[in-house]
Chain A
Amino acid sequence: MSFSIVGNGGVVAEVGGTGFRALRVEPRPLEIGSLGTYRMSVISGTMAAGLAADSEVVQFRWTDATRLAVVHAFILDGMGGTSTAFTAGLASFRLFVARAFTAAGTGGGTATITGNNNKLRSSMGTTLLGEIRTATTAALTAGTKTLDAQPIAQYAFSVGTTASVQYVEQVRLLDSGAENTHPVVLAQDEGLVLRATVPATGTWQFGATICWSEVASY
């Protein structure tokens, strides 16, 4: 005995054909109810020379007590050097989950997250995010948190002594949608932290884009 699948609107679903006999599906993004999905790009200033190893350069902090942040993507939007050259050496960007993130860091600049800013649809709710903080010229201070012992994503590269070189192209550190993998799900006082290690003497700029949804449950 067989049956047809009928949607809430009365439309009957279809099977593609007798070759694969595959049920047609139309993937939709995560159900967000009255909350929302957001995407935000942040950019540093000209980062000063001599940054310590593993300096914190982006902090994404979720503070809402009852909702969850589902992080779909964290993208490095390039990193380029200025006319002040580096000493040659190895470099990395590493993305960590932060837990017990009970106090924000300081330094850099924070994104404007009020009103309609960075909603993917104007009718969505204003983001409940605590803050996105981005280094401008120097590392951010840590605030109060515990980073996991290992990062969840990273990019390793090398730096030469030639000035004005593009060191990092666009790199998708997290992309759960494209990969069909489990997103990072943040509860109250949890977050993501991007750390950078670069060689001495050079000055540089980088950007990052984060995409997330805010939900009551997941």
Chain B
Amino acid sequence: MGFRAHGYSGTVADVSGTGARALKVEPRPLDVQGLGAYRSAVLSGTFTGASNSDAWSMRWSDATKLALIHKVTLDGLAGTSTAFLAGLAFVKLSIVRAHLADGSGGNRFPANTSTGTGNVGKTRTPHNSETVGEIRWGATGGGSVGTGTLDSQPVGQYTFTVPNAGSRILAKQVTLFGGQHPIVLAANEGLAARMTLPGSGTWHHGFTVVWSEVTSY
């Protein structure tokens, strides 16, 4: 005896056909439980950096909610006409634990703790305003991620070589993190992207982070 599955609104589900006989399903993103799903893309200014410069960071400080990090991308890295010395380079993304204090330097989102974030970054306007502690990115040089401990190894990276030339695209869009299991940040945890490039050159780069805010996972 067969039976039919109907949804909450009464619509009956269907099977595709007698070839594969597959139940039709509609994949949905994570239920954000009344909170929201967000994206943030930031761009540096003309950047110079020392070894292991803190180029981007995200701090989650909410005491009761979780941030689920779905994806972090390096959105390209390109040199100005000021040439580099030739050498090896990398960008590394690490989880920061015991991230107890905000970083410093560069630009910060939200601009300050009192103004809130409005609709910025929401993937749907009715979602709640994001409650991220801060997203910080270097403008002209590395800043600081604040108080926190980076894991011994990063969770994502890109290693590349830099020629002795100016005005080159050194890295295209690279997915530093993405996959089935998100990074789950509890209170006072975060992410940090550090980069090392050879001397004398200047460049700009971008980062994008995609995350959801939920009460449980």
Contacts and interface: CB of A to CB of B under 8 A. Distances in A.
Interface of A: 1-5, 12-18, 20-27, 29-30, 37, 39-43, 46, 72-73, 77-83, 111-112, 116-123, 163-166, 169-170, 177-178, 205-207, 209, 211, 213
B181 A14 contact: no
Contact of A2 (B6, B26, B93, B97): B6
Interface stretch (B108-116, B118-126, B130-138, B160-168): B160-168
Contact of B159 (A14, A43, A119): A43
A121 B27 contact: no
Nearest to A132: B153
A177 B177 CA distance: 13
B142 to A, nearest CB: 19
B64 interface: no
Interface stretch (B38-46, B47-55, B84-92): B84-92
Nearest to B6: A2
A39 B179 contact: yes
A20 B24 CA distance: 7
Contacts, number: 186
B156 to A, nearest CB: 6
B25 interface: yes
A213 B6 CA distance: 34
B63 to A, nearest CB: 15
Contact of A166 (B5, B151, B160, B181): B160
Q: Which of B31, B160, B164 has the most CB of A within 10 A?
A: B160
A169 B11 contact: no
Contacts of A42: 153
Contact of A170 (B5, B175, B189): B175
B11 A17 contact: yes
Contacts of A122: 97, 186, 189
A205 B92 CA distance: 14
A21 B10 CA distance: 11
A123 B182 CA distance: 14
Summarize B's interface: helix, strand, loop or mixed. strand
B155 interface: yes
Contact of B9 (A3, A15, A166, A170): A15
A30 B159 contact: no
B155 A39 contact: yes
B182 A169 contact: no
Contact of B161 (A80, A118, A211): A80
B163 A164 contact: yes
Contact of A30 (B87, B160, B161, B180): B180
Q: Which of A2, A4, A169, A170 has the most CB of B within 10 A?
A: A170
Contact of A3 (B6, B30, B95): B6
B7 interface: yes
Contact of B153 (A16, A83, A112): A112
